[in-house]
Structure 1
Amino acid sequence: MTRIETALTRLLGIDLPIVQAGMSWASSAPELPLAVSRAGGLGVLAAGPMRPDDLRSAIRTVRAGTDRPFAVNLPLYRKGVEETLELLLAERPPVLIASQGGPRRYLDRFHDAGVLCLHVVAGPEHARKAAAAGVDGLVVVGAEAGGHPPPDLVSTLVLARAVAAAVPATPFLVSGGFADGHGLAAALALGAGAAQFGTRFLLSTEANVHPAYQRAVLAASVADPQPVGRDLGVIRAIPNAFTREMHRLEADGAALEDRRTRFSASTLKMAAFDGDVDRGKIEAGQSAGLIGEIRPAGEIVRTIATEYETARRSLPEAR
């Protein structure tokens, strides 16, 4: 198997600096993370929408299916988070990726259990706080990302360099705008130890989402996924009836609570699980416009690694 070694791959024990994003519904089942981990990357189970019994079963299925590392992503704002943290402590996945909350509430417990802890950050200030708390590494999410980009919408290119300068001793991976091996080469050149791919794996055969959701993402151009939900927890989503209504409310200066009511009435589940791509939230990154087909996740990992080598060899040497 091809190996691309960085400080982060050594830390995580993976062969390739390719991380599959924890995406609610898409990776809230074992098939996608298992395929990515088997291929040498880091597969990530998305615990956000999962019931405790389903999460426990999925962790055990992934562990039984590979001896390679994998991760569980947990948004700390979710209902019943303490129960989920206790479940994860009992199951001890190799890596925990936590988001949308402070690391101090879980870090000591998971380190004592031998679990590596990565924390999702949206800027250098959050990165400094997480590093000071003692996290093992960071996930830096830029504006191009689907789901929840940073509220100030700073690009991945700038954010990666800002975090690298802010916490030079802390390994990190970057997310937002990556779809192929050329993007991976760019991520490593920025100082990251890996790139995280979300939308690219959303468009995989193992992604646990409705075909209508995948078709909508596959049809998108790079300009289609737009930020929506100012002051409400911005998401990047493909235009539909939901986004058009939100943009109208924002343009009309609607009150925050009126916008919150409309924003909350549509969910990711409606699009990703139920297939309602008109009223649901079709969350996707700008890299959707770089992807032309749905492929098996393991094949995607191997292609990214091959493309990385091509990109690396094509760079001009200094003379």
Structure 2
Amino acid sequence: MRIETPVTRLLGVDLPIVQAGMSWASSGSALPLAVSRAGGLGVIAAGPMRLPDLARAIDEVEAGTDRPYAVNLPLYRKGAEEVMDLLCARRIPVLIASQGGPKRYIERFKDAGTLCLHVVAGEEHAAKAAGAGVDALVVVGAEAGGHPPAGLVSTLVMVRAVARHTPEVPIIASGGFADGEGLAAALALGAGAAQFGTRFLLSEESDLHPAYKAAVLAAGVGDTRTVGHQIGMIRLLANEFADRMTELERTAAALERRRAEFAASTLRMAAFEGDVVRGKVEAGQSAGLIDAILPAEVIVRTLAEEYAAALTRMPAPLRD
């Protein structure tokens, strides 16, 4: 199956399905390779990766498919300049950058022939990124796991706002998507693709501790929280850490105390070590829409099939 949109034409993929770059979950080759092979855009999450590991993951993806793939780079990570040197030297097909401004990287990656996508969470940042020359925008709404927008504006509103504000730039909608009906909604909002994070987090290829996957699979739509306000807000599952942070924020504890508590817990604790009580179990609200851990190829195919079925259920306009 092929679904053609401005984003699929830009990226050279068959389906408007983007796998989110998720630290630890896709910090390797298995998940992005499976998604790209299936017709979507697989994304290597470079955030926690050492340079040799990142180079090896790129080698493995390129050896396994001739389809496009992307690397996600949070620009705030330690050693970001060295990572960019590596990615430019490898002339990766697509860069998805976040947590920083595009002027820092746009020229060098354009010179390398890399498509540049930038993650935004508002009209102002979208306009600045478009003005800097990015090829497309990943627009994140409040439902997203990891780092939602500080104002917690829903994806429904955020995507429409950015689509109206920067209509000349293709959009990938992110936050709250778990099935083909969600994909249909994203395209109806004006996006050219949807990014799926939690849905691919719960894939067989996702490189997470089994306890992390089990916790997310058991979650309902109301079982996530946002913590870290004024520090670096994240959406994660409710657990002992989230409860402590919520109480500190509710009682307006001193900022330094909140910073210390926030820093004492890490994503690595949950994702790599399996501590889902004290670690940061980042996940989106769409966790409550997912009831099975599946191979990534099956997830991509199912999303496309559900999208096609959803279109047949849409009522046609009545004419007098």
Tell me the TM-score normalised to structure 1 length: 0.99
Asked if residue 209 in structure 1 is aligned to residue 208 in structure 2, the reply is yes
User: For 1:121-160, what aligned pairs fall within 5 Å after superposition?
Assistant: 121-160=120-159
SS of the residue corresponding to residue 43 of structure 2 reads strand
Provide the residue aligned with 2:171 in structure 1.
172
Report deviation, 1:46: 0.1
User: For 1:32-111, what aligned pairs fall within 5 Å after superposition?
Assistant: 32-111=31-110
Provide the residue aligned with 1:14 in structure 2.
13
CA displacement, residues 259-295 of structure 1 (integer Å, 9 cap, x when unaligned): 0000011000000011000110000000000000100
User: For 1:231-310, what aligned pairs fall within 5 Å after superposition?
Assistant: 231-310=230-309
User: How far apart are the structure 1 equivalents of 2:249 and 2:315?
Assistant: 47
User: How far apart are the structure 2 equivalents of 1:253 and 1:96?
Assistant: 39
Report deviation, 1:30: 0.2
Query: 1:136 is aligned with what amino acid?
Result: D
CA displacement, residues 208-254 of structure 1 (integer Å, 9 cap, x when unaligned): 00000000000000000111111111100101110010011111210
Query: 1:146 is aligned with what amino acid?
Result: G
User: How far apart are the structure 1 equivalents of 2:286 and 2:238?
Assistant: 15
User: How far apart are the structure 2 equivalents of 1:93 and 1:152?
Assistant: 33
CA RMSD in angstroms, aligned pairs only: 0.5
Provide the residue aligned with 1:189 in structure 2.
188
Asked if residue 24 in structure 1 is aligned to residue 27 in structure 2, the reply is no
SS of the residue corresponding to residue 77 of structure 1 reads coil
User: How far apart are the structure 2 equivalents of 1:243 and 1:226?
Assistant: 7
Gaps of 5+ in 1: none
Runs of 4 or more, structure 1, over 2 Å off, are none
Query: 1:234 is aligned with what amino acid?
Result: M
Report deviation, 1:199: 0.1
Report deviation, 1:92: 1.3
Query: 1:211 is aligned with what amino acid?
Result: P
SS of the residue corresponding to residue 172 of structure 2 reads strand
User: How far apart are the structure 2 equivalents of 1:89 and 1:230?
Assistant: 34
CA displacement, residues 97-126 of structure 1 (integer Å, 9 cap, x when unaligned): 000000011001000100000000010100
Provide the residue aligned with 1:316 in structure 2.
315
Provide the residue aligned with 1:220 in structure 2.
219
Report deviation, 1:20: 0.2
Query: 1:152 is aligned with what amino acid?
Result: G
CA displacement, residues 21-50 of structure 1 (integer Å, 9 cap, x when unaligned): 000000001000000000000000000000
Count of aligned pairs: 318
User: How far apart are the structure 1 equivalents of 2:305 and 2:3?
Assistant: 11
Tell me the TM-score normalised to structure 2 length: 0.99
User: How far apart are the structure 2 equivalents of 1:135 and 1:28?
Assistant: 24
Query: 1:30 is aligned with what amino acid?
Result: S
User: How far apart are the structure 1 equivalents of 2:249 and 2:159?
Assistant: 30
User: How far apart are the structure 2 equivalents of 1:167 and 1:59?
Assistant: 32
Query: 2:106 is aligned with what amino acid?
Result: L
Query: 1:204 is aligned with what amino acid?
Result: S
Report deviation, 1:91: 1.0
Query: 2:38 is aligned with what amino acid?
Result: A
User: How far apart are the structure 2 equivalents of 1:212 and 1:259?
Assistant: 26
Report deviation, 1:93: 1.1
Identity across aligned pairs (percent)?
Answer: 70
User: How far apart are the structure 2 equivalents of 1:216 and 1:194?
Assistant: 28
SS of the residue corresponding to residue 44 of structure 2 reads strand
SS of the residue corresponding to residue 173 of structure 1 reads strand
User: How far apart are the structure 1 equivalents of 2:250 and 2:134?
Assistant: 40
Asked if residue 119 in structure 1 is aligned to residue 113 in structure 2, the reply is no
User: How far apart are the structure 1 equivalents of 2:247 and 2:168?
Assistant: 45
User: How far apart are the structure 1 equivalents of 2:251 and 2:116?
Assistant: 43
